[in-house]
Each structure stands twice: as C-alpha cells, then as structure tokens.
C-alpha cells in the first residue's frame, strides 16, 4: 500500500520500516545476492523498491542486472553470483530521474505553501519571543537579533520540522554546530557565543533535506553544485572586474532599524531622529575607545530588553520604549558611569556589529595644531650617574630579579 510505512523485500515477504532501509539492503545482499548501486541518490526509496519488485515478478533478474562472480578462481561450489542493479540500465536511470522530478515537484509545492502561509506560529529559540504570521518573520529576527542565520526563507523547505530539530538539540543542551553536549543551559549559551557556534554545521547531512538546493539536480548534493559554480568562477578569472564596486557594510542605529553606510550619516540620524548626539557625549565624557565599546554594547542590550537605561522602566515593545525615552528626554542623558563602564560590556550584544568597527579613540580627534600646543619637557641628563641611581627603573628591575630567583 502506498501509504504504508513499511518497505517490502523485492524477492520475498520480509518487510522493514522505511527508517530501516539499511537493514533491508543488508537482507537482500545476504539472502538474495542483490546489490543496489548509489542508493543515496534514489529520491524515493520505497517507490523504487516497489517498482522493481513488480518488474522482477514479470521477468528474470538477469534481464535487468549485471552478474558479478566472486571467488572466480575457486572451485565452482565455492563461487557466488551477485546481481548488480544500477543506473547503467536505461530503465533504472529513467526511473531514478522520474522519482527525482516527482520529489522536486512535491518539494516546490510544499515550499510555495510555506512561502504564503500566514498560520505559522513559533517561539524564538534564543529569547522566547513569540512569532505568528509568516515563517520569514522568525528567521529574519533570529538572523538580525541573535546572529543565527540558517539561510534565506525562500531557500528552506519543511521549516517547522527544521526548527523542531534545532529546538530539540538545544533542549538536550547540544551545540548546534559542534554537537557537543553541556551540563546546563548557561554553559551551552556561553559556549555558542564565545566559539561563534550560533550556526549549523553545513557538513551535517541531517540538514540537507531542509534546503531546496539539494533537490535541484539529479544525483548532486549542494557541495557538488557549489564546487561546479566555483570552477566556473576560476575559469573566468581573466574577465574584466574594473567596474565592480564593493558594497560597504552598513551600521545600524542604536534605537531603531535605520542603517547607514557611513558613521557620519548614522550619527546625524541618531541626533535628528532620537536626540542622541554620540560625538558630543564622547567629547563631554572624554570616552576612550574601550569606553565607547562598552557604552554601545550597554545601550544595545538595554534596548534589546526593552528597558529604559535611565529609569529602568520596562516596556512591551521597542517602539513603546523609544517613545518613552524621547518624550522624557531619557535618550539624551547617560546613567552613572558605573552602570555601563563594566567589563561585561566588552562583549558585543549583536555579532558583527559594524558600529563597533567604526569607533575611534578620542585621541584620534586631536588636531595637529593642538598637538603643537602641548609642551614636551626633556629629562635632565647633565648628571647621568645620579639619574641612574634615582631612576624608578631600579625598583622595577629589583622586583623582576627577585621574582626570577623564586623559580
């Protein structure tokens, strides 16, 4: 029966579950001497087996299979004949191609349904935020807010099953990339953040069925398709690339989704739209590079948690938070330095935060004219012997020699 979860042996009444196809293949090799070549390239294993079960009942096996004799130099009673079923046979190759095309049509129809489905409902795996509507909302949220990118929504199929597989791994305290298991949730989160393992392992074949590219070409995985594309690029290295322009990385506003390709444009947007003058704050507080990094990460984290960094009031949405901060002028003024100037804010709130890469130290802003006004006082070297005896370096050298004697 088509809907049955079992797959029968081609020759006898033995049946196996579809998930146990390796056991069925082993049975047919041992009991019936049949070897099926390149089973992994068969798009629908069950339909493939049912087709050949019907054909072998109609004609002898030797009409379809090559005969491979083992122990050919041994006595006749010790020799064995094995039958090889492969796509060298035109009928077999046509069957495989038809199954592949049928599977591709089914997958594309499923993808089309998911693309326009508005009944999707799921929780974010990292912040427990709930999403309804279309799957792309959740996938884009995880990529933008958590740096977890599993690909463009239009390249993914069976999205709900994919998310369930990933969620089960996290529930089992398993890293999505290296597959290691950890003792608790916090240890797993720290590991994935520090090792940049907030991604899936492309070598894991378990995920292949969730990507459209693996269904496009008969007998080819995504790696083979990609390697062909790379070879085409290498063949075209002599082409003229003089008109190629690199798209600059865009930095994102601290308070909204606005992006800008230069720091100046982003600072101007934050000043005009939100009343937050970052260059002025940096100048007034004398922030060095590391303090700027901590301030940016602090603000991003507070905004991510929908919490006002001045009064600590929490809101249901980011829009509500920003409206409150703009009305109460809480954006303009920073909280006490001890609140945000903490080592924990050395770590980025978002991975690949372009704004952090564009920060500059306050010393870089000093002009050459200002440098010339700074007096430089030279040391008095008229009495070198006295200078050597009174130098602070003597104390440092003494401490260094003392510590080395201990070892």
Per-residue pLDDT at 327: 87
Residue bearing tokens 């379809």 = 64
H/E stretch holding 338 reads helix 337-340
Q: Which two tokens mark 376?
A: 């430089």
Task: Look at residue 111 and tell me if it is in a domain.
Answer: no
Of 225, 243, 273, which residue constitutes the final position of a domain? 225
Instruction: Say if residue 219's pLDDT is above 80.
Output: no
Q: Tell me: the pLDDT tens digits for 42-69? A: 888 999 999 999 999 999 999 999 998 8
Q: Mean per-residue pLDDT for 85-103? A: 92
Q: Are residues 218 and 302 in the same domain?
A: no
Task: Look at residue 195 and tell me if it is in a domain.
Answer: yes
The angle at the Cα of 273, spanning 269 to 276, to the nearest 5 degrees, equals 80
Of 357, 383, 400, which residue constitutes the final position of a domain? 357
Decide: helix, strand or coil at residue 280. Answer: helix
Task: Look at residue 295 and tell me if it is in a domain.
Answer: yes
Q: What residues make up the domain containing 17?
A: 6-104
Q: Are residues 274 and 333 in the same domain?
A: yes
Residue 165 to residue 171: CA distance in whole angstroms: 10
Per-residue pLDDT at 188: 92
Q: Tell me: the pLDDT tens digits for 1-22? A: 556 788 999 999 999 998 889 9
Per-residue pLDDT at 60: 92
Residue 381 gets which letter from DSSP? -
Prediction pTM value: 0.50
**Largest distance between two CA atoms of the chain:** 112
Per-residue pLDDT at 213: 83
Percentage above 90 pLDDT, the chain = 31
Q: How many domains, the chain? A: 3
Task: Look at residue 85 and tell me if it is in a domain.
Answer: yes
Q: Are residues 20 and 87 in the same domain?
A: yes
Instruction: Say if residue 72's pLDDT is above 80.
Output: no
Q: Tell me: the pLDDT tens digits for 364-381? A: 444 444 444 445 555 555
Q: Tell me: the pLDDT tens digits for 236-295? A: 555 656 666 656 667 889 988 888 888 888 899 998 888 899 998 888 888 888 889 999
Q: Are residues 220 and 122 in the same domain?
A: yes
Q: Tell me: the pLDDT tens digits for 304-325? A: 889 999 898 999 888 888 889 8
Q: Are residues 97 and 124 in the same domain?
A: no
Q: Are residues 100 and 121 in the same domain?
A: no
Task: Give the chain's mean pLDDT.
Answer: 83
Q: Mean per-residue pLDDT for 103-129? A: 90
Instruction: Say if residue 407's pLDDT is above 80.
Output: no
Per-residue pLDDT at 372: 44
Q: Are residues 210 and 286 in the same domain?
A: no
Task: Look at residue 219 and tell me if it is in a domain.
Answer: yes
Q: Are residues 353 and 262 in the same domain?
A: yes
Per-residue pLDDT at 154: 85
Q: Are residues 122 and 97 in the same domain?
A: no
Task: Look at residue 381 and tell me if it is in a domain.
Answer: no
Residue bearing tokens 């050395």 = 346
Per-residue pLDDT at 347: 84
Task: Look at residue 282 and tell me if it is in a domain.
Answer: yes
Of 334, 357, 380, which residue constitutes the final position of a domain? 357
Q: Mean per-residue pLDDT for 167-194? A: 91
Q: Are residues 15 and 95 in the same domain?
A: yes
Task: Look at residue 377 and tell me if it is in a domain.
Answer: no
Q: Are residues 65 and 93 in the same domain?
A: yes
Residues 6+ apart with CB under 8 A from 61: 34, 83
Residues 6+ apart with CB under 8 A from 339: 298, 309
Q: Are residues 353 and 255 in the same domain?
A: yes
H/E stretch holding 371 reads helix 368-373
Residue bearing tokens 């390149």 = 38
HEC string for the chain:
CCCCCEEECCCCCCEEEHHHHHHHHHHHHHHHCEEECCHHHCCCHHHHHHHHHHHHHHCCHHHCCEEEEECCCCCHHHCEEEEEECCCCHHHHHHHHHHHHHHHHHHHHHHHHHHCCCCEEEECCCCCCEEEECHHHHHHHHHHHHCCCCCCHHHECCHHHHHHHHHHHHHCCECCCCCCECCCHHHHHHHHHHCCCCCCCCCCHHHHHHECHHHHCCCCCHHHHHHHHHHHHHHCCCCCCCCCCCCCCCEECCCCCCEECCHHHHHHHHHHHHCCCHHHHHHHHCCCHHHHHHHHHHHHHHHHCCECCCCCCECCCHHHHHHHHHHCCCCCCCCCHHHHCCHHHHCCCCCCCHHHHCCCCHHHHCCHHHHHHCCCCCCCCCCHHHHHHHCCHHHHHHHHHHHHHHC
């Amino acid at each position: 029966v088509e809907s049955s979860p079992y797959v029968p042996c081609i020759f006898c009444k033995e049946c196996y579950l579809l998930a146990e196809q390796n056991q069925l293949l082993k049975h047919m090799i041992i009991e019936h001497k049949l070897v099926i070549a390149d089973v992994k390239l068969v798009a629908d294993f069950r339909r493939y087996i049912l087709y050949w079960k019907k054909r072998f009942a109609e004609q002898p096996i030797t009409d379809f299979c090559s005969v491979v004799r083992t122990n050919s130099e041994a006595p006749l009673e010790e020799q064995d004949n094995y039958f090889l079923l492969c796509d060298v046979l035109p009928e077999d190759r046509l069957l495989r191609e038809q199954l592949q095309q049928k599977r591709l049509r089914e997958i594309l129809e499923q993808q089309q349904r998911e693309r326009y489905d508005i009944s999707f409902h799921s929780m974010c795996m990292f912040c427990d935020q709930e999403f309804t509507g279309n799957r792309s909302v959740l996938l884009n949220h995880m990529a933008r807010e958590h740096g977890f990118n599993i690909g463009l929504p239009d390249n993914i199929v069976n999205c709900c099953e994919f998310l369930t597989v990933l969620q089960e791994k996290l529930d089992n305290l398993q890293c999505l990339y290296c597959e290691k298991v950890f003792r608790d949730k916090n240890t797993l989160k720290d590991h994935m953040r520090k090792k940049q393992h907030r991604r899936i392992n492309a070598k894991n074949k378990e995920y292949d069925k969730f990507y459209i590219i693996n269904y496009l070409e008969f007998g080819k995985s995504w790696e083979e398709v990609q390697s062909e594309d790379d070879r085409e690029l290498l063949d075209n290295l002599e082409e003229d690339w003089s008109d190629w322009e690199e798209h600059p990385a865009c930095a994102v506003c601290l308070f909204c989704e606005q992006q800008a390709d230069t720091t100046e444009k982003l600072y101007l947007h934050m000043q005009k739209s939100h009343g937050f003058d970052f260059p002025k704050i940096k100048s007034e507080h004398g922030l060095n590079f590391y303090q700027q990094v901590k301030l940016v990460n602090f603000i991003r984290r507070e905004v991510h948690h929908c919490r006002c960094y001045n009064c600590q009031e929490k809101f249901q949405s980011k829009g509500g938070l920003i409206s409150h901060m703009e009305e109460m002028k809480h954006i303009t003024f920073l909280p006490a330095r001890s609140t945000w100037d903490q080592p924990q804010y050395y770590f980025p709130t978002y991975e690949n935060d372009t704004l952090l890469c564009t920060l500059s130290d306050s010393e870089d802003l000093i002009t050459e004219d200002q440098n010339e006004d700074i007096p430089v006082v030279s040391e008095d070297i008229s009495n070198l012997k006295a200078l050597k005896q009174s130098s602070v370096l003597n104390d440092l050298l003494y401490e260094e020699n003392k510590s080395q004697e201990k070892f």
